Structure 1
Amino acid sequence: QVLDQAPQVACLQEVTPALAAALRGFPALLAHYSVSENEIVSYGCLILVHRSVQPCTFAELPLPTHMGRTLVMAALPDGLVVATVHLESLDSERMRHRQLEIIADHLRTRKRAVICGDFNFDATQTFGDWHRASPRYGPKELENTKMRATLMGYDDVWEVVRGPDPGYTFDGETNPRCVRQRAERMRYDRIMVRGLRATAVALLGEEAIDSSGIKPSDHYGLVVDLAATSEAAQGPSSSANRGEGEQPAASAAGDAAQ
């Protein structure tokens, strides 16, 4: 379904070594996409970039982690960087915050940047709140609120385009075959942008793959259409005469099929 959308950039998380090898050895895919060269040990992130988007350079940034997490990046034309990450899982708020601080600092000079992936926290609630009589944290203490301060200048494309729509990407109600707890309905996955304007965003992978009702993954993916902003185009990392117009990239993010 990701490739049916024909995005110019596709970001994948929870890619196993077997899946990475399959993608890197699939001629029909390689005819159209370059695949990031980073090593996948137990599981990790990959970026696919359409071969029409040149030049393209891949890089990987180590992060503090107990789970082998890194930031995978693709440097694209006009100073754009697309980066994908799977932030630390479970009860690891401090580690996730530190990972985001390092990512923000690494990309601080970029006028145009996309950070996407599995952030492992929701926008309006905390893990386990569905079991509690009252939320664990108030709005000011949520990880999402702290993220806004860390990723200053970035927009959450789902909030920009879809407003109050909860946009659950991990949903026990609509995806019970893959998510154990039916009450767990969370927007764990994000696409954050700076120097770009989101014009559309949608979920991917909501349809079952067969009559059993199982879906491609426990997470739904995201696909977004982005346009350049004139402010970023005037910056040193972008073409001076680009002005405002469609940015030649559509970015899809989501956990690889289980």
Structure 2
Amino acid sequence: MSNFKPVTIFIFLLFVSIAVKAQDISPYKFSLGLNVMSYNQQLPITGSDFNDNNYVANYINGLVFKVRNNLFLWRSGFQYNRYEDNNSTAECATCPQSTGKYETFRIGAGFEKEYFYGKVRPILGLDLFYYRSDYKGNSAVGTANEILLTNNRNGAGYSPFVGIKIFPVDFITLTATTSFAGIWYHESIKSEQVSTGIRTTTPGDYHYDSIFNPVAGLTITYNFGSQD
């Protein structure tokens, strides 16, 4: 009996999808969107100020392109985020100071499905993507023991998402989504002690991490192209 409710919901959504297949759900075949804001969880970088799973806002950080058929919108796009690490004024004599730059990039493709076709539409979807992040920074305690640190990650991931679409006019769409992302990646870490020139390389290793994005994206989309 515990699986009855999810199965019922799935069957209902499937019925709605079939029922509306022949409807003119949109007069436009293509969509091009600008991601104007996101509020995402970060993967931590040990030895930097980004050492917690913090949530950070970014603005004007991605594009998405979509192609519509009667059932789905097939989508592809990218997102680039840049964070500044600037804790150059330590809170105490033994507290570390750190500065640096943390960049993340993802490019991928997937699909989304709209329900209850009207001016306001719930959506479900899934993206698969390539992921990369680069951190370059330095840390020190006082004026001694300054360490230069680099952290590079390359991997792939998946991201199911839910959201809501609003059509103020038929050729403009406002979309807000929430997502979960699972990422497999290879991580390479290098550090150098400035005073001695000693360099340390941590053997590369593979990891899996997951993050939650309360606002995966707020997107403004322009719809164009005839369905004929």
The normalised TM-score by structure 1 is 0.27
Larger strand proportion, structure 1 or 2?
A: 2
TM-score normalised over the length of structure 2: 0.29
| Structure ranking higher in helix proportion | 1
Larger radius of gyration, structure 1 or 2? 2
